[in-house]
Structure 1
Amino acid sequence: MNYLKLLLVIYVCIEDASSKDCYWNSNCKYTWFSSKTPYENVRGDIRDSVVKTTNCEAISIWSYLRHGKRNPGGRFAKQMKAVLEFKQYILNNYETGNHTMCAQDIENLRKWQPSKSVMNEPNELNDEGYLEMVGIASRLRETFPDLLSDLHEGEYLFHPAFGNRMLDSAKAFIEGLQYRGLTIEKVINGYDDMAPHATCGVYQRDVRLNPNVFDEVTKYEKTSDYLDTKYNIESKLGDRTTNDDIVALYDLCRYLWDGINKIASPWCALFTTKDLEVLEYTGDLMHYYRNGYGTKYSKAFGEIILADMLRNFESTKRHKGKKIISYFAHATSIDTILVALNLFKDANHLTGAYRNSDRKWRTTKLSTFGANLIAVLNKCKVTNDVQDYHVAFYLNEEPLLELCNQGVCSWQEFEYKFEPFLNTTSDFCEFRTQPN
């Protein structure tokens, strides 16, 4: 969503605001949940935003996608189950008149029943995530019918990183292309150059498994901004909460929000818009220092991935490339790709001291479920005897305006930006670990 659209949405929300601050009938529900945002809440539509130029044809697509919406991990699912006891507290408070929530919000919460699959199948791609992947591929096929209407062996590569949710995302993507029987390249022994962070020993030791990485989050949780949110939630629950409780309640809101069918989770009624903005920022801080500009390894990981794009497009120019290459991996990899491209970089590091509402690093828009970077190589006729090439970039199906000329790089610009990545290695990893 561009900023003009955002301003329009804000204006409409102000105009339609109800005098009673109820969640169920709000025309302006806050739908940005950091990296756990359903893809449908933020995506563009490549059918509408595709670059249209004369005398050009798309000859190759390179895409890198985060897996679709998944269930929470085991530890988080356990915490979500633990805070379900708050449901009865909320209902009891309502019955005794000690409440601040609206009657319909209470009724919606009373009727709600936990999903067995969400709570008991950790990390698995869920039905919504599957449909997210089907939708992306379907829109790609409709946008580039001449390129994608007839794929044969050797003309494509579908490569999921290690893990069921990546493999299932690849299967859903192929279904969206309306093909059967296409081969999926599987990772052997877990190690994968296209998800370099997953087995990089030094990164896993120094960052992924280092609790100090989240020091800025801890700092933020002591600010008045965060403590006001905590107090607001406790006033609705009628009980004290820990920070883990708040994360679990937030997860009941965002994991259970159905983006495709536009159905809100009743648990979201516990939060004001400002509360959700605060919790979104904690997610941004986590990603920033684990995968983004706050860690020194991100740039190299992203460059290793992006070098593959250049190699394929160079091969395509020599008539040896593939029509489509699609990788399916993690939010971590999407973050590192953006760092390698030096995109969405704030002038100053994000900090736990205060929340910058105008920050560029916003995981809701960058690395949500189903997030994707799509690059399209176009061959253009300059004269009858001269051909040229350009590369169009899309982030979550909208033109990546921050790159080159409104998202379109000439071949010379493309080479200049990407050739240095060919020399990047993961030798600094020192040792390998098994992917999670």
Structure 2
Amino acid sequence: MKVLISTVLIWFCVKNVLTLECYWNTECKYKYFGSKTPYEIVRGDIRDSIVRTKGCEAVSIWAIIRHGKRNPEEKYAQNMRHVLKQKDFIVSSYEIGNSSLCAQDIENIKNWNVDTAVLTKLNEIAEEGYQELLRLGSRINEAFPELLKELQEKDYLFLPAFGQRFVDSAKAFVEGLNQNLAVNVTKDSQTLAPYINCRKYQLEVKRNPNIYHEEEEYKKTADYLTIKERIHRKLGLNFTFSNQDITAIYDLCRYTWVGISNKPSPLCAVFSNEDLEVLKFIDDLRHYYHSGYGVSQYSQRLGQIPMADLLRKFQQAKNGKGKKIVSYLTHATMLDMILVALNLNKDTKPLTGAHRDLNRKWSSLYSTFSGNMIAVLNRCSNNKQNEYYNVAFYWNEKPILDLCNRGVCSWQEFEELFKPFLNANIDFCD
């Protein structure tokens, strides 16, 4: 009988230890933080994804890329500094037995020092962001060695949007190509970010607080309120974090997660996987109504501008007068708008704060740090020596399967799809 009781007690203790959720040794950590996700977590590999067809060779590459991982801007950094001051309360709550965090998670939080650059070098590209672009350039260079060998000035265009983080991103990308090439700097945002000079968009969307209505409505739902209560119980504090505080903790979690070395932030231990899914949905809503289908009357037309540039550049390359590589460095907003212009990731029903659709197509993961769209023009010939062209499309280095034949368009399909964009303009802006 004593043996039976002992066995039951041992089983209970072992089961209790095994079912305790600890962040530090969880193998399946949730890594998706909306548009602030490190590129390493979502990317494919152009070296593996590239379409290799017998008799075809790449003659031109066109890419539009979001800047690399950056540090937060002041209004968010200020909130992050505020919640960092609560770190000692989180540790003290555990020490008096109120917290359900694991001992190692608490130790990691206690010994954790945030890189000062994150909260002082505001809006500047982070070291990881520089590496994201450098490595992207290096992979493209490996994938197209013949095309990109010994580029001359007439062969390329690298153009960053206005701002130092875009210039730094462009320089990192060019460094990855392993060549000493010039980066043009311009204040002309017509192709890179036409919405910046679109007065109507700036007034009715960018500066309109109502675009966050669905996000605020969602924060009133049981879905969101449940995570607030769960965090409160987990930390065992004698005060409750505000919505702003939770966002600041989330920002600390995602800005200090290092994707390239797969090093998670200790503060992510505050959240469960489900909590992080809820917070990502908020980011999805924000992008949907800031630059996605929620404002399609603007995003569709503005997204067509760079797509028209893509068609023109490839028409020139097809006629032997184009460049071997064109690369623009831009904002997440522009990537969102391109998705809308191409009618990609469109849900049958609009996203709303009333319901979190787990099967939604729209996602802010398509415009992460260093997110990109790459198009490759290929020249081909068959046994009869007939020359023809096709265009292959990639998003974050993965084929865009919803375009043409799993991401590869014949030249005729490409022109039919993109020719309407030649009529795109921003006359409606004023």
TM-score by length of 1: 0.93
Residue 101 (structure 1) shift: 0.2
Aligned 1:152-191 pairs, distance under 5 A: 152-180=152-180, 182-188=181-187, 191=189
Residue 91 (structure 1) shift: 0.5
Q: Distance in 2 between matches of 1:335 and 1:193?
A: 14
Q: Distance in 2 between matches of 1:18 and 1:257?
A: 26
Structure-2 residue corresponding to 1:23: 23
Aligned 1:206-245 pairs, distance under 5 A: 206-237=204-235, 238=237, 239-245=239-245
Q: Deviations over 1:96-148 (max 9, x none)?
A: 00111000000000010122110011110000000000111100000000001
Q: Distance in 1 between matches of 2:413 and 2:362?
A: 25
**Residue 337 (structure 2) pairs with residue 339 (structure 1):** no
Structure-2 residue corresponding to 1:393: 393
Aligned 1:27-106 pairs, distance under 5 A: 27-106=27-106
Residue 427 (structure 1) shift: 0.8
C-alpha contact (below 8 Å) 1:161/1:192 kept by paired residues: no
Q: Distance in 2 between matches of 1:368 and 1:241?
A: 27
Q: Distance in 2 between matches of 1:391 and 1:344?
A: 20
Structure-1 residue corresponding to 2:364: 363
Percentage identity across aligned positions? 53
C-alpha contact (below 8 Å) 1:90/1:236 kept by paired residues: no
Q: Aligned to 1:389, what secondary structure does the other structure show?
A: strand
Q: Aligned to 1:140, what secondary structure does the other structure show?
A: helix
4+ residue stretches of structure 1 with deviation over 4 A?
Answer: none
Q: Distance in 1 between matches of 2:164 and 2:308?
A: 26
Residue 384 (structure 1) shift: 4.3
Unpaired runs of 5+ residues, structure 2, are 1-16
Instruction: Please identify, of 102-111 and 192-201, the stretch whose mean Cα deviation from structure 2 is larger.
Output: 192-201
Amino acid at match of 1:303: Q
Amino acid at match of 1:223: T
Structure-2 residue corresponding to 1:113: 113
Amino acid at match of 1:408: V
Aligned 1:118-133 pairs, distance under 5 A: 118-133=118-133
Q: Aligned to 1:409, what secondary structure does the other structure show?
A: strand
Q: Distance in 1 between matches of 2:388 and 2:379?
A: 6
Q: Aligned to 1:147, what secondary structure does the other structure show?
A: coil
Unpaired runs of 5+ residues, structure 1, are 1-16, 431-436
Structure-2 residue corresponding to 1:302: 303
Q: Which has the larger radius of gyration?
A: 2
Residue 337 (structure 1) shift: 0.4
Q: Deviations over 1:161-212 (max 9, x none)?
A: 01111110000000000012x1212113x54332101221111110011000
Q: Distance in 1 between matches of 2:197 and 2:75?
A: 21
Amino acid at match of 1:310: L
Amino acid at match of 2:36: K
Structure-2 residue corresponding to 1:329: 330
Residue 18 (structure 1) shift: 5.1
Q: Aligned to 1:390, what secondary structure does the other structure show?
A: strand
How has the CA–CA distance of structure 1 residues 208 and 387 changed in structure 2, closer, same or farther, with 3 Å as cutoff?
same
Q: Distance in 2 between matches of 1:18 and 1:272?
A: 16
Structure-2 residue corresponding to 1:5: none
Amino acid at match of 1:131: Q
Q: Distance in 2 between matches of 1:18 and 1:196?
A: 54
Structure-2 residue corresponding to 1:12: none
Amino acid at match of 2:186: V
Q: Distance in 1 between matches of 2:406 and 2:113?
A: 46
TM-score by length of 2: 0.94
Q: Aligned to 2:294, what secondary structure does the other structure show?
A: coil
Q: Deviations over 1:358-414 (max 9, x none)?
A: 1100112x1111100000000000344420000000000011101110100000000
Q: Aligned to 2:60, what secondary structure does the other structure show?
A: strand
